[in-house]
A and B are shown apart, each in its own frame.
Chain A
Amino acid sequence: MGDVIVITSGKGGVGKTTTSANLGTGFALLGKKVALIDADIGLRNLDVVMGLENRIVYDLVDVVEGNCRLKQAMIRDKRYESLYLLPAAQTRDKNAVNPDQMEKLCKELVQDFDFVIIDCPAGIEQGFKNAIAGADQAIIVTTPEVSAVRDADRIIGLLESEGKHNPKLIINRIRPHMVKKGDMMDIDDIIEILAIDLLGIIPEDDYIVVSTNRGEPAVANPVSGASTAYKNIVRRLLGENVPLMKIEANDGFFTRLKKVFNF
């Protein structure tokens, strides 16, 4: 029996899908059997970020409505043997699925997989309720912005009222030089308000844009800063004790990184 983890945030654009793709790939790189579920019905993205868009035949709604078997809808990633994706439907909306159906689906998947990772849509409506229904662990993604932190706080409250306690926090897109100058919320400010366990921090990294467009999760790239951060998070989720990345302003780092990729 594995774990069902939902990646959620409330606010859009903070990196839920990127985080789902990278954590899923990260687990798969360590040989874990992973199922990624895109719960963002109608605005599916995870398949694009994973580079699996052209292999979709059946989707989540087909499974729920009984048009196909679950195994038929699971897309196996050729690059990573143990990684599977259950894509969302693009032509339907969030009301095509209900929380009971999602819970049942997760229960079925968790029998076969070490980790089931659910990419939650933005917002707190039906899509959110569906996404969290079957999860036994939640990871909240936020960025160092007041609005994102506010929404994260709301989400933590909603998770609590659904009986899902102790979510973990990922702070995404930290810009070290801005934190150093005091222009950006720092980690301590965010933790003080949200008061939940910090799972990891991810530096702002241009390579994420490249990897998203190419459909290759950044975690597979050994030189990217975000890749190291995601790898650390994966190891922490597996119970290893990995210290937090140092967020020191290192002006040379991004410049060096750019040189590596020639842009």
Chain B
Amino acid sequence: MREYVMFKGSRNGLQLVLDDSADFTVILDTLKAKLESAVVFFTKGTTVEVPSKVRVLTLEEQQDLAKLLATYGLIFCQTTEEPDIVEEVSATMEKVETLFVDKTIRSGQEVLYIGSVVITGDVNPGAKVIAGGDVIIKGACRGVVHAGAYGNADATITADRLLASQIRIASLIARAPDHLEQPEYTERASIKDGNVVIERVDI
């Protein structure tokens, strides 16, 4: 399926990139579903930019979009800027605060954040965590985790019990072996010499 609606991290908050050919009602529905599935993770008051270079919206469409975003506490803002290029985002990473999530991320839920994410709870199979920076999980990680999602190859993934089905760092993807041993210690995944490496960490 094509992604009609995509959120990207940007300098001022989030950037919403809309498909230029899809019907506007489809876009609204997709956006609603997206917001619905991750509603707790979009911090209230975040500005959402919609670059007009990608898709030009009519005044009415803008109002609809603003209304929908407002119900989730997000602020709509149309910009004329080019969509941010990935590198620019990672350059500003240090300034972004870390997101703390104090609950278990369940199947079908998604945490999407521009900076680092710390999760106190499990990441269950079928759940997704996508972070611009590091991901730290104080619990069992059985889902899909993507650290450095905007190109930061120095990002790491740490979990008390790293049982992820897939680990992604920057543009690299590592799959769990078919027969995963169950580690009883904290592990950290990072990129070394172009490979995803998992090492034991002692705390």
Contact = CB atoms under 8 A, between A and B. Distances in A.
Q: Describe B's contact surface by its main secondary structure.
A: loop
B142 A157 contact: no
Contacts of A193: 122, 124-125, 142
Interface residues on B, range: 10 to 19
A154 B122 contact: no
A158 B104 contact: no
A121 B106 CA distance: 21
B122 A157 contact: no
Size bin of chain A's contact surface: 10 to 19
Interface string B95-130: 000000000101111000000000000101110000
Contact of A158 (B108, B124, B140): B108
A157 B125 contact: no
B124 A153 contact: yes
B36 interface: yes
Contacts of B109: 157
Given A153-B106, A153-B107, A195-B104, A161 B142 contact: no
A31 to B, nearest CB: 38
B197 to A, nearest CB: 27
Nearest to B39: A161
A161 B40 CA distance: 8
Contact of A154 (B40, B104, B107, B140): B107
Contacts of B104: 195
* Interface-central residue, A153, A156, A160, A161, by most chain B CB under 10 Å: A153
A147 to B, nearest CB: 11
Interface in A131-179: 150-151, 153-154, 156-158, 160-161
A160 B104 CA distance: 11
Interface of B: 36-37, 39-40, 104, 106-109, 122, 124-126, 140, 142
8 contacts: A150-B125, A150-B126, A153-B126, A154-B107, A154-B108, A192-B140, A193-B125, A195-B122
Interface of A: 150-151, 153-154, 156-158, 160-161, 192-193, 195
